[in-house]
Structure 1
Amino acid sequence: MARETWATRAGFILAAVGSAVGLGNVWRFPFITGQYGGSSFLITYLAFVALIGFPAILVEFVIGRRTDRNPVGALRELGSGVWGSAGWLFVVTGFIILSYYSVVAGWFLRYTLIGITEGYTLTDPAEAEALYQTVSTGLDTLVFHALFMLLVVGIIAAGVRRGIELSVKVMIPAILVLLVGLAGYGFTLDGASAAYAYYLSPDFGTIAANWTEILPAAAGQAFFTLSLGMGVMITYASYLGEDRNLAADAGIIATIDTLVAVLVGFVVFPVLFTVGIEPGSGGPGAIFVSLTAAFAGIPGGRILGIVFFGMVGIAALSSAISILEVLVSYLIDEVGVARVPASAALGAAVFLLGVPVTVDSIFLGLYDGLAYGILLVLGSLLLALFVGWVVPGVGREELRTGMGDAAGFDGAWIWVVRLPLVFVIFVSLVLGVTDYVGFLTGGFADWLAAR
């Protein structure tokens, strides 16, 4: 069976950007930024993307293009022993993430539909919270979870060029255009100046005092939004030709992804400050509760809400197809299953794993904390150790391919991977494990005790 490839460079870049630009940028980024101090979190996150995210993308790129395989097959080809089995971690991580990602994406679809059919009229935060509770669990939530997964399966079943590449060429430009328009509208709101001060004026004292919380949150956000640690970039790079400059492509992808995240802040925070809602309160449901109440209190809020929630739904779809492609590529490469049945079977399995999240939101915390705080970071750590210390010659050689005169870039990059990258990821992993243990012994243990 001939392996598929990207038709164009733009197709690959947009697909990788589509993987990175999703719920991590729009759903997670605003409430995480608000939860950890606004600008203090933003500057830490930006530092992680530049110093850690960019070299980490290249780690995954060199593995994928070198082997032309999925994460399991790639690490089995390049490594032996424990390294040859490490690829399974990425399959498990993607499986868990997509299971709850699909449920949350279904929430955005429902909020878009609510705006179209009823409008956003609940100015009372308590009523907006009650609406969120209705949307986030129950039979309707299960139905929208299923509908979203059907969309994802349909695109993946169509293949790399006719499915993934064709869809992202429409979705990603649409997301960028809508975001710029929404950010421009946010500039006209009364709370814009206060929002910009909160968002863009970093307090380094806050960072120093709360680094044990801000550091793992920023690291996890960078890995999540750049689709690192789940094998997506390995898989997408495996469809590349040898003439591509991986460093240039990685830079474009990281820049566009970061631009989208920053633009989301210019949309969300002016809206919240205009109606007097404190950013960062309410956890994962914050963006739904606060924004639906805010849209009810600003001019043109109904149209703004429909466009915003619809845009997030598109972004979620572009990311979800990348995660499912990792799982499908494994069955195609390693088991020889055809693309259509592989897509259908894995889509059904992911749907079933996500069912508990539609029953009680505690499972969202259980899944998300494990994937976001531990598995993504662990996957990135293993890859950095593998490329930096086990097969550094392979990594450097593959990076030089397509670059022309690398001028020592490959040597500098491998040392960044070996030392700073490994150290920072390791510290983030330790802090992430500590936070997750706290969740298990705290909130989740209380939930179990109440049953």
Structure 2
Amino acid sequence: MGFILAAVGSAVGLGNIWRFPFITGQYGGSSFLITYLAFVALIGFPAILVEFVIGRRTDRNPVGALRELGSGVWSYAGWLFVVTGFIILSYYSVVAGWFLRYTLIGITEGYTLTDPTEANALFGTVSTGLDTLLFHAVFMLLVVGIIAAGVRRGIELSVKVMVPAILVMLVGLAAYGFTLDGAAAAYGYYLSPDFGTITANWTEILPAAAGQAFFTLSLGMGVMITYASYLGEDRNLAADAGIIATIDTLIAVLVGFVVFPVLFTVGIEPGTGGAGAIFVSLTSAFASVPGGRIIGIVFFGMVGIAALSSAISILEVLVSYLIDELGVARVPASAALGAAVFLLGVPVTLDLVFLNLYDLLADGILLVLGSLLLALFVGWVIPDVGRAELRKGIADVGDLDGAWIWAVRIPIVIVVIVSLYLGIVDYVDFLTGDFADWLAAR
């Protein structure tokens, strides 16, 4: 149970609650949702098993695991996951600090800005500046404290509280959303897919759905390898992967039942505003809906909890490397890496262009590349090892291992290569467009 909740806690975070609503709105609501769900089922689930078999087989962090199982260039591939986690956590912490501030705003002042322009100005003060740097530091201190306490006393104990709390709050908020005037229109937007939109915009929807699936399932950054390294051979990896993917996806879908009814009730268009969309739109909405202040405090507080559960999993990957490979004690390893991650995140507190610079690189390229390398490694380099590890703990395996390795070898590799290519194109467009314009203005 501790393992499942830790893995779910890793998967459930800002990707589900901050990123999912505005990405869904940006790419057509239900059209994106159905593509995302297909990605989770057909790509995400087999990809989780890829990381599980590597982690449990080696009992090591991603760097040590790939070094033990691979040779030549494969022995160095684990470094990609360390770098990816390092980059993601640096801006993840900053965004998590935003949610902490919005929770405090609700407690101290309430959400009173009905004018979206004023709400946007508030987000501008929250998202950058000295106070943003302070909350970034506070959040990283919380993460470091939990990781320093260890796997059982820190990670396992915290997620056993946080994950059930997130589920309970989300169900309650979704029930509240059902009572709002805009619920019917929101459900139509969210649940009635337009397949014409998918076929017409697949080059945009596909990489967005792929990146979202990898991000929310914590794939491509070595988290699932690290957590699976603590598992015994009696565990049914397929069952555990199914539970984790199902709960993570359920939470993401539930977030839509919370956010979209609120937005449609006050007439706010979903998907506008980018990274600040959920803050600007929801603070305006909470000022207008009944009980908005309490709902807002619960919502933003819940996201802060979810962010914490994910952040500890990312830092654990980095810390486990120092412990396993260099023999560094857990407490100094946690402190040193926490400080380094904090410093890398400082530019994000100064200008949001760095958030896009980090996020598009990590989400659209590095996570997908990491998953591609693992699929190639397990599917083509060590297929027999992967199949043997998957069979452990499964009483009636049938041809599950054969079907899984086939999916890893061909369909997953093809889809991930296409997604990686499209992600690289998007990143190059950003570098030559928005980022180049930002540099020129300086």
TM-score over 0.5 for the alignment? yes
For residues 144 and 173 of structure 2, the distance between their equivalents in structure 1, rounded to whole angstroms, comes to 30
Q: Deviations over 1:100-132 (max 9, x none)?
A: 000000000000000000000000000000000
Moved segments of 4+, more than 2 Å: none
Percent identity of equivalent pairs: 88
Q: Deviations over 1:378-429 (max 9, x none)?
A: 0000000000000000000000000122001001100000000000000000
| Partner residue, 2:399 | 408
For residues 217 and 403 of structure 2, the distance between their equivalents in structure 1, rounded to whole angstroms, comes to 22
Q: Deviations over 1:184-231 (max 9, x none)?
A: 000000000000000000000000000000000000000000000000
| Partner residue, 1:442 | 433
For residues 403 and 390 of structure 1, the distance between their equivalents in structure 2, rounded to whole angstroms, comes to 23
Residue 285 in 1 paired to residue 276 in 2? yes
**Alignment equivalent of 2:242, drawn from 251, 259, 268:** 251
**Alignment equivalent of 1:274, drawn from 265, 268, 274:** 265
| Partner residue, 1:343 | 334
Q: Deviations over 1:46-71 (max 9, x none)?
A: 00000000000000000000000000
For residues 334 and 393 of structure 1, the distance between their equivalents in structure 2, rounded to whole angstroms, comes to 26
Q: Which AA in structure 2 matches 1:244?
A: R
**Alignment equivalent of 1:161, drawn from 152, 163, 171:** 152
For residues 436 and 158 of structure 1, the distance between their equivalents in structure 2, rounded to whole angstroms, comes to 38
Residue 130 in 1 paired to residue 121 in 2? yes
Q: Which AA in structure 2 matches 1:291?
A: L
Residue 242 in 1 paired to residue 237 in 2? no
For residues 103 and 399 of structure 1, the distance between their equivalents in structure 2, rounded to whole angstroms, comes to 38
Displacement of 1:280: 0.0
**Alignment equivalent of 1:421, drawn from 405, 412, 417:** 412
| Partner residue, 2:46 | 55
Trace 1:62-101 onto structure 2 (pairs within 5 A).
Answer: 62-101=53-92
Q: Which AA in structure 2 matches 1:146?
A: A
| Partner residue, 2:167 | 176
Residue 309 in 1 paired to residue 300 in 2? yes
Q: What is the SS of the residue equivalent to 2:288?
A: coil
For residues 276 and 112 of structure 2, the distance between their equivalents in structure 1, rounded to whole angstroms, comes to 18
Q: Which AA in structure 2 matches 1:65?
A: R
Q: Which AA in structure 2 matches 1:71?
A: P
**Alignment equivalent of 1:332, drawn from 316, 319, 323:** 323
Residue 208 in 1 paired to residue 199 in 2? yes
For residues 396 and 305 of structure 2, the distance between their equivalents in structure 1, rounded to whole angstroms, comes to 39
Trace 1:97-116 onto structure 2 (pairs within 5 A).
Answer: 97-116=88-107
| Partner residue, 2:256 | 265
For residues 281 and 427 of structure 2, the distance between their equivalents in structure 1, rounded to whole angstroms, comes to 26
Residue 31 in 1 paired to residue 22 in 2? yes
TM-score after normalising by structure 2:
1.00
For residues 406 and 383 of structure 1, the distance between their equivalents in structure 2, rounded to whole angstroms, comes to 23
For residues 118 and 397 of structure 2, the distance between their equivalents in structure 1, rounded to whole angstroms, comes to 58
For residues 355 and 337 of structure 2, the distance between their equivalents in structure 1, rounded to whole angstroms, comes to 20
Q: How many positions carry a matched residue from both structures?
A: 442
Residue 222 in 1 paired to residue 239 in 2? no
Q: Which AA in structure 2 matches 1:314?
A: I
**Alignment equivalent of 2:309, drawn from 300, 318, 331:** 318
For residues 255 and 273 of structure 1, the distance between their equivalents in structure 2, rounded to whole angstroms, comes to 27
TM-score after normalising by structure 1:
0.98
Q: Which AA in structure 1 matches 2:115?
A: D
For residues 423 and 394 of structure 1, the distance between their equivalents in structure 2, rounded to whole angstroms, comes to 22
For residues 431 and 288 of structure 2, the distance between their equivalents in structure 1, rounded to whole angstroms, comes to 38
Q: What is the SS of the residue equivalent to 1:55?
A: helix
For residues 128 and 275 of structure 2, the distance between their equivalents in structure 1, rounded to whole angstroms, comes to 13
For residues 189 and 131 of structure 1, the distance between their equivalents in structure 2, rounded to whole angstroms, comes to 25
For residues 365 and 276 of structure 2, the distance between their equivalents in structure 1, rounded to whole angstroms, comes to 22
| Partner residue, 1:45 | 36
Q: What is the SS of the residue equivalent to 2:433?
A: helix
Residue 233 in 1 paired to residue 224 in 2? yes
Displacement of 1:338: 0.4
For residues 138 and 202 of structure 1, the distance between their equivalents in structure 2, rounded to whole angstroms, comes to 40
Q: Which AA in structure 1 matches 2:36?
A: Y
Gaps of 5+ in 1: 1-9
For residues 110 and 195 of structure 1, the distance between their equivalents in structure 2, rounded to whole angstroms, comes to 28
Q: What is the SS of the residue equivalent to 1:156?
A: helix
Trace 1:335-374 onto structure 2 (pairs within 5 A).
Answer: 335-374=326-365
| Partner residue, 1:3 | none
Q: Deviations over 1:421-445 (max 9, x none)?
A: 0000000000000000000000000
